[in-house]
Amino acid sequence: MVNEKWLERIPADGPFYLFQGCFINHNYPGIEAATRFILDKLKVKYFVSEDQSCCGLPEFGTLANPLILTCLVGRNMDVMQKYAPYVLTPCNGCYSAFHTSATLMKDPEVATKTGEVLGKLGRKYSHMKIIHFADFIYKRLEDIAVKSVKVLGGLKMAVHYGCHYFLFEEEGLDSRENPSFAEEIIDRLGGEHVNYTAKDECCGFGMIQQVVHKNMAYAITEEKINSILNAGAEAILVICPYCLNVLDKNQKVLKDIELIEKAIPVIHISQLVALVLGASPDKMGFEKHSVDVKPFLDSIEERKMEFKGWSATEVASSLK
Amino acid sequence: MDKVSVLLTSRWNWKLLEEAKKWGIERPEECLSCGACVGACPAARTSSYNFRKVVRDVMLGNEEKVLSSREIWYCFYCFYCTSKCPSKVEIPYFIMRLRRMAIERGYGGDILRVVISTSINLMERGVSVLPSDYDRMSPASAEESMVRLRESLGLPPVMRVSEKAMEELKTIFKETGFEDEVERIRSGKWPFKGISEKY
Ligand code: SF4
Ligand code: SF4
């Protein structure tokens, strides 16, 4: 069951500030292209600005300095709120940066110091609503389904939400216990989701562990992938570029040393939705993926219009 | 409180605990040592890490032992533990807080050195990850090929932070102590105290 309260609060039509994240911008531009494609298709207005900087989460994650996060987040929000009242992001890292900053700001010492630093810039810590792009997709799922020109044909997909999506349950669609909204998206667009036991587990990235303790990171990815493969999945759907990177690249390595039987494509939800809305597969940046996405692309089919006869209301409206 | 808890709390070292509880971190001392977090924890499955031991040592005031250890650098920051903990201890924030305390005492330099590149990028460009960080090409050609790829996808060149914004960021880097720490790590001037592998 999705969090209806949050669903109601997601503005269906924007306008949004589309947060520019470094990892998508510099490594997975296909996710950005797909995200913009979807917003354009749905005729939703969005803004970007060169006055925006990085989110600050990687630096908090390494140096454990709360101020670098709160100051960057506070400054960015002060910049962005001039464009739109809501921020959209297709990255769990940027997403959790905003929420983590809000948590740290509850500490009076952190809040005071942050206020002082931002004051020197003539800025203040402003609050904006952060919306994960996956949530937005769910909000507009019916429109997307109606506007879709392709369908996901029968490929079995496992969803990996990523730990940081679940940090702020009141402002997210699902809880870590048994999330299901992305599975619903898959099914609605003609695909078939599979459940697996390690769904709520980490991808292996571990903030610094993929670099600092590589063997630990690989071991966790291995567990995750084997659970996914055991469930019979043929592709993995993610909502975060970091999860995409780790699950995709680590699978290649794990396959080479035979710790997993096969490697399967990893797709970001923006890419999947853009494709059913008619985006060209050449424009999704798949050249940056390590595991070949061909099995996934091959499963996408033209949507056949089934004619089941006119309904009474349709007849009525056509006569108007 | 029963007798056993009184006995235990009488041995607590409030000073270290209070320092560790900054940032508004709640309830670490309410850890029941039930092990639910350890059962869920990816770090526990792949290393010697055990949060119960860490929190116990903080409460007993074993400052050097905790802050000089590799133990506090294993956490994946995945929050799986918090979702399982009956006392809702904010374990990952608590571990982050311990890392901060360790850094302020000169520990952790060896670990930070290998992950400092994002912080350096942020200082120089206002952006944490550059195309070259995930590519084997030189920085210039990685950026060039990313610009080309982005162009082919119909996107603007690459993320750029305006000069005005960079000026503001520089003030933030200075005022938060970020620049100082990054420079010391980058130049090797960190008072590198080795961390202890045994716990
Ligand atoms: S789950 Fe919570 S109460 Fe149980 S050992 Fe871990 S931190 Fe302590
Ligand atoms: S956040 Fe850290 S302590 Fe908690 S489960 Fe993840 S790795 Fe373990």
Domain boundary among A106, A133, A160: A133
Domain boundary among B104, B128, B155: B104
pLDDT at B13 (0 to 100): 75
The residue ranges of DSSP E strands in chain B, in sequence order, are none
pLDDT at A233 (0 to 100): 97
- For residues B18 and B52, state if they share a domain: yes
Mean pLDDT across the stretch A291-310? 82
**pLDDT, tens digit, 9 for 90 and up, residues A177-186:** 889 999 999 9
**Look-up: residue for tokens 């940027």?**
A94
Q: Does A23 touch chain B (CB under 8 A)?
A: yes
Cα(B156) to ligand 2 centroid in Å equals 38
Q: Do A51 and B131 touch (CB under 8 A)?
A: no
Q: Which pTM value belongs to this model?
A: 0.92
Number of domains comprising chain B: 2
**pLDDT, tens digit, 9 for 90 and up, residues A132-151:** 999 999 999 999 999 999 99
Of the two residues B16 and A215, the one the predictor is more confident about is A215
Answer yes or no: is the C-beta of B85 below 6 A from any ligand 1 atom: yes
Instruction: State which residue of chain A sits closest to B185, comparing Cα positions.
Output: A63
- For residues B158 and B79, state if they share a domain: no
In sequence order, the β-bridge partners of residue A301 are A151
pLDDT at B8 (0 to 100): 63
Mean pLDDT across the stretch B107-130? 92
Does the pLDDT at position A320 exceed 60? no
- At B133, is the pLDDT very low, low, confident or very high (cuts 50, 70, 90)? confident
Asked whether A58 and B129 are in contact (CB, 8 A), the reply is: yes
Answer yes or no: is the C-beta of B59 below 6 A from any ligand 1 atom: no
**pLDDT, tens digit, 9 for 90 and up, residues A227-253:** 999 999 999 999 999 999 999 999 999
- For residues B89 and B127, state if they share a domain: no
Backbone angles phi, psi at A150, to 5 degrees: -125, 160
Count CB-CB contacts under 10 A for residue B33: 11
Looking at the domain assignment, is residue A142 inside a domain?
no
Structural domain of A18: 4-133
- Rounded-to-integer distance, Cα A194 and Cα B192, Å: 49
CA distances (Å), B7 to each of A183, B11, B14, B53, in order?
51, 7, 15, 18
Which DSSP string corresponds to chain A? ---HHHHHHS-SS--EEE---HHHHHH-HHHHHHHHHHHHHTT--EE--TT----SHHHHHHH--HHHHHHHHHHHHHHHTTT-SEEEES-HHHHHHHHHHHHHTTSHHHHHHHHHHHHHTT------EEEEHHHHHHHTHHHHHHH-SEEE-S-EEEEE--GGGGG-GGGSS--SSS--HHHHHHHHTT-EEE--TTTTS--S-TTTHHHHSHHHHHHHHHHHHHHHHHTT-SEEEES-HHHHHHHHHHHHHHHHTTSSS----EEEHHHHHHHHTT--GGGTTGGG-SS--HHHHHHEEEPP-------HHHHHHHH-
Ligand nearest to the CA of B92: 2
Q: Is the peptide bond before A295 cis (omega within 30 degrees of 0)?
A: no
Q: Which of A33, A211, A216 lies at the smallest CB-CB distance from B154?
A: A33
- For residues A233 and A121, state if they share a domain: no
Mean pLDDT across the stretch B72-101? 94
**pLDDT, tens digit, 9 for 90 and up, residues B38-54:** 999 999 999 999 999 99
Domain boundary among A133, A165, A189: A133
Complex-level ipTM: 0.91
pLDDT at B2 (0 to 100): 53
Q: Which of B22, B83, B131 lies at the smallest CB-CB distance from A107?
A: B22
**pLDDT, tens digit, 9 for 90 and up, residues A95-112:** 999 999 999 999 999 999
Q: Which residues contact A237 (CB under 8 A, 6 or more apart)?
A: A157, A158, A159, A160, A182, A186, A267, A268, A269, A272
Q: Which CATH number is A172's domain given?
A: 3.40.50.11810
